[in-house]
Amino acid sequence: MNFQNVDIKKIKEIREHTLSCAPLIHCITNPISINDCANTVLLTGAKPIMAEHPDEVAGITAIAGALAVNLGNITDARMKSIIIASQA
């Protein structure tokens, strides 16, 4: 990977902004990576929420600053939740 064109100043600006507003990030992932996903979101200064039930994902995504999905180890129920959340 070539990092010669990485704008470090812009990365710092984005990090400072994320820390100042601490957005809620809705993560729909699998049990294998749920802890790593939550810790990664926390590391950025944001707040993770891991709602997965089809009846709750639309409401959670509507108030979140972003939706992150992981298609690894997908189940029918998780895919249904991802589709519902992506339309919220």
Strands (E), 12-59: 24-28, 47-49
The answer to the question of residue 4 being in a domain is no
- State the total domains in the chain: 1
The answer to the question of residue 2 being in a domain is no
The answer to the question of residue 9 being in a domain is no
**Residue carrying the six token digits 């998780």:** 78
Helix segments in the chain, DSSP class H:
8-21, 34-44, 57-63, 76-86
The answer to the question of residue 71 being in a domain is yes
**Each residue of 73-86: pLDDT tens digit?**
999 999 999 999 99
Structural domain of 26? 22-86
Backbone angles phi, psi at 27, to 5 degrees: -110, 125
Q: Is 13 exposed, middle or buried (0-12, 13-18, 19+ CB in 10 A)?
A: exposed
**Each residue of 24-40: pLDDT tens digit?**
999 999 999 999 999 99
